[in-house]
Structure 1
């Protein structure tokens, strides 16, 4: 059985691999090996493979891998052994997990103190981490429902969307936004001659092949290859990314490199995801975003 969750020394909480990836690129998690088995009576060391790679460099999505030894008392280790004997049950798996697997929380605005609180220096202190793990496990055991993973960018949601697609369970997995549950199937909308008046009035994650153009030397325009139709007229939606928006973003150096490469090589196929809703103005149909957490690029 794969390890789906791990305790992060840097974040001081239990996370899944998608959250670990988000936190690594935010600079909160410093090392892909800074993880441990979440069980309070176990110190098995864990690494999160691929979180230090950009998406286009990955052969596999981010995932946890144990490179230490579980304690004999570790419930998670016992569940792994049962799985190897093919006698594991969903009940046992649920009992040993810390995070819910059916619903993810997407917070479209980061708390103002998000980086400040998470970037505090964390010294190696076994007693401190053991106490935190004990508290997390106690809260899990006392709670009637599992804690849902929480994300501030669409990048990890895209990875989960791709995984849920392969597992054919998009309708059974949900994203909670502002208190409302939306299935992954409903949230992700492929741009493919959709009729504008039939699209949701709420933002969704639209995606499709696109080309990136440089504008005014420092700004960029993303133009989708497929269309959205309004009154029998086909519009190829666009998205404007200003230099000011790039410079105010925590991931600006990586994103600037990506945009420069795409603008310089327009023949390179890229899939663009954007959390927004299309709006028509004059002869154009556009998406609008106020933070670059709401867009991502995946090479085909």
Structure 2
């Protein structure tokens, strides 16, 4: 059984599996971290699956699960589904910046007795039985994951996300670069995606060049992205980013599918036109293996 949220007693925090995944890759959460159920009157121990997997797709993604169904209280609606009410669907929320202290380091908790796998219980009044909240995401990778899931469920045109203060559909937000007229789109911030080639630079960064082009007059312009070593070192989840990018270079020769939340940029007075995406926040880029191309068929939305 896949569970959406859990409590992390050692940090006195209720969190999603995506949040647990980020904390692990920021070296703020151990691989064997213990979680607890948020159901009414329930403190069943949970684990977070796929916590240490750098790759992420529809089959490999973080989620909470129980050791045993019997660990849940009889009153737990998470495990037993009793007393559920239909809630209004709310847009997912993509936050352009992380809040201060998002990766705060907590004191190390006292060691549990050997063999004790039950997490320390937190106040039931704070967490138990609370309804699911709107999903807030900070890494574009999380939003791409939802895009792939909505594509599979065939509801891209109905599913919504609040991004940059505006609510839009996943279908409108995600745009394939291929052969769109770039001069009409220079002011359009969207999640641009396409196949690309990736390589490491001598300086310790990465260089990415899209395989499919924008159109500009009679030319085809393949946009590029440069990720500097300095930007990576300042990034809290750099361990995860490097693990993913190095794995792609090693296993597919750098052939990948790239997503970036940005506006296309072109210089005004260059002798030869070119297009770049500038990414000043590495949360706003996601690079995945070519195996997701099948999932991406027929999901582009071409238009100005």
State the match for 2:80 in structure 1.
Answer: 78
CA deviation string 1:180-227 (max 9, x = no partner): 212111221122112224548342211111112344543432100001
- Give TM-score, length-normalised by structure 1: 0.79
Q: Match of 1:234, SS?
A: strand
The Cα shift of 1:25 comes to 2.1
2:211 is aligned, of 225, 234, 237, to 225
- Distance of 1:291 and 1:241 partners within structure 2: 10
Kept in 1, the 8 Å contact 2:255–2:289? The answer is: yes
Q: CA deviation at 1:161?
A: 1.2
Q: Distance in 1 between matches of 2:92 and 2:185?
A: 23
When residues 42 and 136 of structure 1 are mapped into structure 2, their CA distance, relative to the original with a 3 A threshold, is: closer
Structure with greater strand share of residues: 1
- Backbone CA RMSD of aligned residues: 3.2
Cα deviation digits, residues 201-259 of structure 1 (max 9, x gap):
34221111111234454343210000111224211000111121122122334434544
8 Å Cα contact 1:40/1:130 also seen in 2: no
Whether the 8 Å contact between 2:12 and 2:122 is mirrored in structure 1 is no
Within 2, Cα distance between the matches of 1:252 and 1:101? 33
> Cα–Cα, structure 1 residues 10 and 287, in superposed 2: closer, same or farther, change >3 Å?
farther
Q: CA deviation at 1:123?
A: 5.5
Aligned partner of 1:298 among 277, 288, 294: 288
Hey, what's the Cα distance between the residues in 1 that align with 2:6 and 2:211?
40
Change (3 A) 1:57 1:189: closer
Q: Does 1:112 align with 2:100?
A: yes
Q: CA deviation at 1:263?
A: 5.4
1:190–1:208 Cα contact (<8 Å) kept:
yes
Bigger relative contact order, structure 1 or 2 (CA pairs below 8 A, ≥6 apart): 2
- Say if 1:191 and 1:254 are closer, same or farther in 2 by CA, change over 3 A: same
Aligned to 1:289: 279
From 192, 199, 220, the equivalent of 2:178 is 192
Change in Cα spacing, 1:153 to 1:208, as seen in structure 2 (3 Å) is: same
Q: Distance in 1 between matches of 2:46 and 2:119?
A: 19
Question: What is the number of residues matched between the two proteins?
Answer: 279
Question: TM-score, normalising length from structure 2?
Answer: 0.78
Whether 1:92 aligns to 2:84 is yes
> Taking structure 1 as reference, are residues 105 and 12 closer, same or farther at Cα in structure 2, changes over 3 Å only?
farther
CA deviation after TM superposition for structure 1 residue 31, in Å: 3.6
Aligned residue number for residue 115 of structure 2:
none
Q: Any gaps of 5 or more consecutive residues in structure 2?
A: 113-117, 291-304
Pair 106,121 (structure 1): closer, same or farther in 2 beyond 3 Å:
farther
| Structure 1 residue 264, shift from structure 2 partner | 6.6
Q: Which runs of 5+ in 1 are unaligned?
A: 83-90
Structure 2 CA distance for aligned equivalents of residues 104 and 57 of structure 1: 19
Other structure's SS at 2:93 match: strand
**Any conservation in 2 of the 1:8–1:34 contact (CA below 8 Å)?**
yes
Per-residue displacement from partner, 1:109-139 (whole Å, max 9, x unpaired)? 12232222x63445589998431x422357x
